[in-house]
Amino acid sequence: MARTHFIFLVLMFSSSSSSSSSPPSSLSLSREQEEDRIQALPGQPKVRFSQFSGYVTVNESHGRSLFYWLTESSSSPHTKPLLLWLNGGPGCSSIAYGASEEIGPFRINSTGSNLYLHNFSWNTEANLLFLESPVGVGFSYTNTSSDLKESGDERTAEENLIFLIKWMSRFPQYQYRDFYIAGESYAGHYVPQLAKKIHEYNKACNKPIINLKGFMVGNPEMDKTNDKLGTITYWWSHAMISDASYNSILKNCNFTAERFTKECDSTIYDAAADFGDIDQYSIYTPKCVPKFIGNKQTHKTLLPKPILDEYDPCTESYAEIYYNRPEVQRAMHANRTAIPYKWTACSDSVFNSWNWRDSDNSMLPVYKELMEAGLRIWVFSGDTDSVIPVTATRFSLSKLNLPVKTRWYPWYSGNQVGGRTEVYEGLTFVTVRGAGHEVPLFKPQSSLILLRSFLAGKELPRS
């Protein structure tokens, strides 16, 4: 309790200038924003929206700073809501995934040299704020190396909140604006935990500047017991493992235990050999195949050259080329400390040193608390993901025992079934047909319909 009280004092002090009757001069704020303005990214097509990127320091004494990228809405940015996107991992970059292959306005070509427009970008509906969190992810950094061995859920949520308050002090036009959070995978922890921090912060402030309206998460980690059981069930029900492997797992694994035994781990490992060489995040699409030219590794698919806005399994490798280019980093005001390692889509060091003792076994109590607070909450699931599959999400949601408001029905994207949905009291569940782990990457048009319905607070279209 004392730690939380201290955090609120720090946050309230850091935001006091923006919530007082005499805010900082617009000149100084304008100068800060202009310093973060992206004039144009290398290889970028002409656009009609503004972009900003840079750093916000979230811990002065340790020198921890988080990197962000704001792409304003392509229409009516002054009235559209603000949406923060977080990727999971833990250790994966929202720039690499959310911005560059899921919901952002640009896609990267196969050589990592140019950008082209994404026809179903979410910035048609909202101002998009991408955050690389926690420190050690992407361009976000710390001057204290021991910080990288101490990352966990609690510090990540605290520093994401500090980031938001300081960022809104830099961009006061977004204070009090309708605000939403979205993310996927391990952001199934980040998103509701940050929403809870914001809710607590708002209750503690006389005049809160973060107008949180709701959040949504895709293929999220929700509850360790149900996630594990739901994953094994998905493997068997989708013919990824044999009956013998499935029965052996059920015999040797206790899904309610905090940790699996070595015998259980060994059984699961043996069962995974049944998969074959597939992309477990998207079980029906081709995986990216490395191709070596001399000593240099490139990537290719087993299909003809992808058509724009169609799924390309090698897109992550294009991001790692593009964001390591010095001219791109200069344009984005990134890598100001000249980190001695390459920018990567996911940080192995962050994941491998994650403090799993500071990782909630279940997020369901947080969902209950935030539903009672009246937040709009949507959970969506691509139904071809075997890593955090739709069965895991359904098992977890069933534990909430929510009354059904609108019974299960198919929703439509154009003239095709986009998925299915069921609306409960306090929460909406959505499946996206044919989508893998990164739902907007696989089904961009359906995902944009999902976003529009979520922001409008309306049920998904029935036809």
Residue with tokens 């299960």: 408
**Are 197 and 160 contacting, i.e. CB atoms less than 8 angstroms apart?**
yes
Is 26 a residue whose pLDDT tops 70? no
Torsions phi, psi for 349 (to 5 deg): -65, -40
Enumerate residues 6+ apart whose C-beta is below 8 A from 247.
none
The string of pLDDT tens digits covering residues 318-369 is 999 999 999 999 999 999 888 778 999 999 999 999 998 899 899 999 999 9
Give the confidence band of 146 by pLDDT, cuts at 50, 70, 90. Answer: confident
Torsions phi, psi for 89 (to 5 deg): 125, -85
**Are 312 and 301 contacting, i.e. CB atoms less than 8 angstroms apart?**
yes
Q: Please give the Cα distance from 198 to 358 (Å, whole number).
A: 19
The string of pLDDT tens digits covering residues 370-413 is 999 999 999 999 999 999 999 999 999 999 999 999 999 999 99
Catalytic residue among 189, 299, 333, 437: 437
Active site residue 385: yes
Active site residue 36: no
Q: Please give the Cα distance from 59 to 80 (Å, whole number).
A: 31
Q: Please give the Cα distance from 415 to 411 (Å, whole number).
A: 10
| Average pLDDT of the residues in 415-438 | 98
For residue 309, what pLDDT is reported?
55
Torsions phi, psi for 85 (to 5 deg): -110, 135
For residue 317, what pLDDT is reported?
93
- CA 146 from chain centre, in angstroms, equals 25
For residue 432, what pLDDT is reported?
98
| Tally of helices (H runs) and strands (E runs) in the chain | 14, 14
CA distances (Å), origin 206, targets 19, 163, 194: 9, 20, 20
CA distances (Å), origin 335, targets 69, 71, 459: 13, 19, 42
CA distances (Å), origin 207, targets 16, 203, 336: 10, 9, 34
In this structure, the number of other CB atoms found within 10 A of the CB of residue 323 comes to 25
For residue 145, what pLDDT is reported?
84
DSSP state of 124: G
Q: Please give the Cα distance from 8 to 125 (Å, whole number).
A: 32
Among positive and negative, which fits the CA dihedral 204, 209, 212, 217?
A: negative
Q: What percent of the chain has pLDDT over 70?
A: 89
Is 9 a residue whose pLDDT tops 50? no
Is 20 a residue whose pLDDT tops 60? no
Give the confidence band of 195 by pLDDT, cuts at 50, 70, 90. Answer: very high
Catalytic residue among 110, 385, 413, 447: 385
In this structure, the number of other CB atoms found within 10 A of the CB of residue 292 comes to 8
Is 262 a residue whose pLDDT tops 60? yes
**Are 343 and 140 contacting, i.e. CB atoms less than 8 angstroms apart?**
no
Geometric angle at alpha carbon 54, from 205 and 319, rounded to 5°: 120
Q: Please give the Cα distance from 207 to 135 (Å, whole number).
A: 29
- CA 321 from chain centre, in angstroms, equals 21
Give the confidence band of 257 by pLDDT, cuts at 50, 70, 90. Answer: confident
**Are 435 and 446 contacting, i.e. CB atoms less than 8 angstroms apart?**
yes
Q: Which residues is 212 bridged to in the sheet?
A: 179
Domains by residue range for the chain, with CATH: 2-224+359-456 (3.40.50.1820)
The number of CA neighbours under 13 Å toward the Cβ of 100 is 29
Among positive and negative, which fits the CA dihedral 306, 310, 313, 319?
A: positive
For residue 100, what pLDDT is reported?
97
For residue 5, what pLDDT is reported?
38
Overall size of the chain counted in residues: 463
Active site residue 78: no
Q: What percent of the chain has pLDDT over 90?
A: 82
Catalytic residue among 73, 185, 245, 248: 185
Is 298 a residue whose pLDDT tops 60? no
**Are 244 and 273 contacting, i.e. CB atoms less than 8 angstroms apart?**
no
